[in-house]
A and B are shown apart, each in its own frame.
Chain A
């Protein structure tokens, strides 16, 4: 029987079928890899300790501190709670023999950036993390999904999780992206189209000729944002681009093992006649640079649009939600999106903190200057990315334009450290969530691509990157 990629990955990890009488029911799935960070792991380690358990296979876990860490310096952590949280992680990984990427080491960074960089993320595996953006790793053809802290404890002890089988959605990308339009814009356009619940219950596979042309960084951005459409799983079948990215990375098999693995990985694609529960077709040629204007990632529009008008909405519930979002965002209906002035720029996060993202932003700011009154920071997704960018001179470009150049971490994506918006401040941000208070209580977030966020910083307001004039210098 023809199978989708999701079904192949699922079938290959079933330890026990928990509802054999019904097709597509629950199963106990084997978990190959687990990424651990300081926020969702303390309670899981504590549960192990309370039950007197050890990790079943410690070497299949990889721990790092990313969410709460300061990005101004890598010395001691000033915030006592953050310092205690990182110290607790370090004590836990020592007690339970979990491989750990030290905060001051080259391997540190956001879980979803370092997993791929290290080759910890591989095609064909199941990978989990106590973090919803684990969807990112699906870009490699891995069955990857976010879990809660209790499940982290279950994976540690049993290397398994009970899972409900998802429905399948194929997102077929056709056509070619215009200049200055990126994977982030594809993601925002997709979410605007299907809504914040549109992919709930689905494993989403991005496929078609438009995917083949995307770099691994772009694929990761796209899969990363799948959770913002409600989908716990984003997938892309591994291909030559995937293999070229992986070969030679620290944890990737070598020699004969590499050949064996690649031969297997080549079988990981949806069969030609596989049936999906839903198909969505997106013509990449139709997509303009997108920005968000509201408090849900579905509140997105092309930069050429205006803030929507609640009075034109018939459904009372939807109208109320829109009114509330505009009140929080302090935006008047009908305002052209390009007229929205910003206070801050944040370039970073597991969505857009990779070297390709930094290069794209740097190429926009080169020879230009951040607008008066705007504070802009660049936070690389990993320490290795930071060093790579420095080797390419990107830090110099950013600093010359008035951007601050920071150490790697989640930073202003989640505002757990001191990188946060003040109440009422407005940001152009390359992160993934524009929820109320996400970047600090009372802060207002506009999501967009790195190039668009950089351009907004230069202009002082949201701007169409396609219309940004030539650099002054």
Chain B
């Protein structure tokens, strides 16, 4: 995945709870089997009317948030379906960081695997950032320093698992990491399990 550098830009405010992955990427577009080029479907039914015209009131259709690399959202963002398209579509739209007080768990993991930084901060802080975002202020997200800052607010540090931080900064791929470091452990586990639960190794799937 693309390494995560420093982000600078406006942050699009989406002050709504439970924005689920069906809202982020409507199911009917799941027929597309590509992972690239999905940006135009992000929040599709919020962004576009039935005739394809833009809905002027939706935040991503408004200046100065059209190209915001950051999204600030209500609690439980990305809940619902496990579709990774929800992350690919944000990426395709140019969003590399989402701030919320909580995330759908699968979505959160999917972000980390695709170079999108999910920042979890307490709700009152998210509310303060949201206000700043609504004013159209410029934000800076510095993953190396673990800090998010916006004009007019003191820089805030955010928590992130140290390993996930490194993986994001370096663009490491999880499968590579596991295969490179854990091959012997996996083989040893299989030997042991095959002895203890042999029925798991006698599959004849028809």
Interface residues of A (CB under 8 A from B): 15-16, 18, 26, 28, 30, 32, 39-40, 42-43, 46-47, 51, 53, 56, 59-60, 62, 67-68, 79, 81-82, 84-85, 88, 99, 107, 120, 122, 124-125, 130-132, 146-151, 153-154, 157-160, 162, 196-197, 200-201, 230, 232, 250-251, 253, 257-258, 260-261, 264, 296, 317, 320-321, 324, 414-416, 420, 423, 433, 435-438, 441
Contact = CB atoms under 8 A, between A and B. Distances in A.
Given A253-B199, A264-B197, A416 B28 contact: yes
Contacts of A40: 82-84
B64 interface: no
11 contacts: A28-B178, A39-B30, A43-B35, A51-B176, A84-B31, A85-B31, A99-B206, A196-B18, A230-B105, A436-B23, A441-B28
A374 to B, nearest CB: 24
In this complex, which of A56, A79, A250, A435 has the most chain B Cβ atoms within 10 angstroms of its Cβ? A435
A358 B33 CA distance: 33
Contact of A321 (B16, B114, B204): B16
A416 B186 contact: no
A154 B175 contact: yes
B182 A28 contact: yes
A148 B109 contact: yes
Interface stretch (B71-79, B91-99, B143-151): B71-79
A202 B186 CA distance: 27
A97 B60 CA distance: 44
Given A150-B84, A435-B20, A415 B27 contact: yes
Given A148-B113, A162-B178, A200-B105, A230 B203 contact: no
B75 A197 contact: yes
Contact of B80 (A79, A130, A435): A435
Contacts of A260: 198-199
A421 to B, nearest CB: 12
Interface string B84-106: 10010000000000000010111
B106 A154 contact: no
B21 to A, nearest CB: 9
A250 B203 CA distance: 10
Contacts of A146: 82, 106
A-B CB proximity, top 9 nearest? A99-B205, A253-B199, A42-B33, A81-B31, A148-B110, A148-B84, A149-B84, A146-B82, A132-B82
Given A88-B33, A230-B76, 17 more contacts: A28-B185, A43-B35, A43-B84, A51-B175, A51-B176, A53-B175, A56-B186, A62-B205, A67-B30, A82-B31, A120-B205, A148-B83, A148-B109, A230-B104, A232-B106, A321-B17, A437-B27
Contact of A16 (B32, B182, B206): B182
A26 B164 CA distance: 12
Given A160-B182, A436-B45, A59 B205 contact: yes
Contact of B26 (A131, A197, A441): A441
Nearest to A441: B45
B202 interface: yes
B135 interface: no
Contacts of A47: 175
B186 A85 contact: no
Give the size category of B's interface with A. 35 or more
Interface of B: 16-18, 20, 22-23, 26-28, 30-35, 45, 50, 74-76, 79-84, 87, 102, 104-106, 109-110, 113-114, 161, 163, 174-176, 178-179, 182, 185-186, 189-190, 193, 197-200, 202-206
In this complex, which of A28, A130, A148 has the most chain B Cβ atoms within 10 angstroms of its Cβ? A148
Nearest to B183: A158
Nearest to B123: A317
A52 to B, nearest CB: 12
A58 B145 CA distance: 42
Contacts of B113: 148, 150-151
A422 to B, nearest CB: 11
A415 B28 contact: yes
A250 B189 CA distance: 26
A132 B81 contact: yes
B178 A154 contact: yes
Contacts of A120: 205
A414 B27 contact: yes
Nearest to A84: B33
Given A28-B178, A43-B84, A261-B197, A151 B27 contact: no
Contacts of B198: 257, 260
A332 B76 CA distance: 26
